[in-house]
């Protein structure tokens, strides 16, 4: 059974914003979006892109992964999935326990810069076991 993720996302964002003691305008400024747009996201009227969610996550200091799951971009982690199933890039990034939230956010941002803003939906990756990129000096 599938639930509509947008109201859950909006409710979660509002809770996080209020617990961080941020006004709608403050969070919108931090995320680089208009406060009417953020209000529409919180009310479940607009579906934000992965990039916007990442910016909101930074402003709220929460995991971008949790926002992706609530928005329906990523599925919740399921440890029962067969190892032969090749996850998409964003799922692989989210599932890597060796990454911090900041590293996940940076990897998502880099990936999206290579494939475009609509990459948050249906992209396929290299086979399981591929290594993550390393930082070059």
25: domain CATH number is: 1.10.260.40
Q: Are residues 66 and 27 in the same domain?
A: yes
Q: Nearest 5 degrees, angle CA 95-CA 50-CA 94?
A: 5
* pLDDT mean across residues, the chain: 74
Q: Are residues 15 and 56 in the same domain?
A: yes
Cα–Cα dist 72/6, whole Å: 8
Q: Are residues 66 and 20 in the same domain?
A: yes
Q: Which residue has the higher pLDDT, 91 or 137?
A: 91
Residue with tokens 């579906």: 47
Mean pLDDT of the 91-120 span: 76
pTM above 0.85, yes or no: no
Mean pLDDT of the 28-41 span: 94
Which pLDDT tens digit goes with each residue over 8-26? 888 889 999 999 899 999 9
Q: With 70 as the cut, is the pLDDT of residue 135 above it?
A: no
The residue segments making up the domain with residue 93 are 89-119
Residue with tokens 């940076």: 106
Closest CA to 93 of 80, 79, 74, 72: 74
Closest CA to 53 of 81, 76, 33: 33
Residue 130 counted as domain residue: no
């Amino acid at each position: 059974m599938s639930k509509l993720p947008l109201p859950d996302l909006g409710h979660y964002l509002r809770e996080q914003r209020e617990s961080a003691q941020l006004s709608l305008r403050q969070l919108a400024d931090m995320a680089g979006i208009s406060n009417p747009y953020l209000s529409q996201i919180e009310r479940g009227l607009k579906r934000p892109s992965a990039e916007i969610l990442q910016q909101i996550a930074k402003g709220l200091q929460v995991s971008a992964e949790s926002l992706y799951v609530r928005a329906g971009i990523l599925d919740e982690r399921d440890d029962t999935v067969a190892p032969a199933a090749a996850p998409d890039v964003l799922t692989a990034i989210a599932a890597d326990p060796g990454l911090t939230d900041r590293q996940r956010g940076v990897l998502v941002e880099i990936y999206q810069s290579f494939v475009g803003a609509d990459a948050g939906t249906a992209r396929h990756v290299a086979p399981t076991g591929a290594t993550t990129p390393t930082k070059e000096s």
